[in-house]
Amino acid sequence: MIELSKLDAKMAELMGYSYWDSEGDYDGKYPMFITTDALLIVYDEANNHREFSPSTKDAPAMQVVDKMHEKGWFFMLVYDGMLWVAEFRDGTKKVVAYADTRPEAICRAALLAVEAGK
């Protein structure tokens, strides 16, 4: 199973953020993100920055849901009494992910949807 920090980086890419690594490999586009061992930071053109952790925080996870809607995916989230179940579906594909928290379930399902090829 993918680590949460790597999952956050995948979600940043889904959101359209460009990656910048400490070696200076950056394509010049904003918003961009950097990663540390524990954080993913997003920067805008004015050099404002904020933490982006959709796999652990509800508000960024809902930004992922909004982006998936823009890409044509419908979303459903339920709690089955033990785990959160997130589902994305379009006209032909359906992906489901389970996790202990809402944000993690959302991000894992979004990653599956992206990998399913939308």
**CATH code: domain of residue 34:** 3.30.2120.10
pLDDT per position as a tens digit, 38-86 = 667 777 777 777 788 999 999 999 999 999 999 999 999 999 999 999 9
H helices of 1-118, in order, are 4-14, 58-70, 102-115
The separation between CA 64 and the C-alpha centre of its own chain, rounded to angstroms, equals 5
Q: What is residue 18's predicted lDDT score, i.e. its pLDDT?
A: 76
Structurally, the chain folds into a number of domains equal to: 1
Task: Give me the percent of the chain exceeding a pLDDT of 90.
Answer: 52
The model carries a pTM of 0.84
Which tops the pLDDT comparison, 11 or 44? 11
Angle at 11 between CA 88 and CA 54, to 5 degrees: 90
Q: What is residue 79's predicted lDDT score, i.e. its pLDDT?
A: 97
Instruction: Give the count of beta carbons closer than 10 Å to the beta carbon of residue 60.
Output: 23
Domain that holds residue 69: 4-115
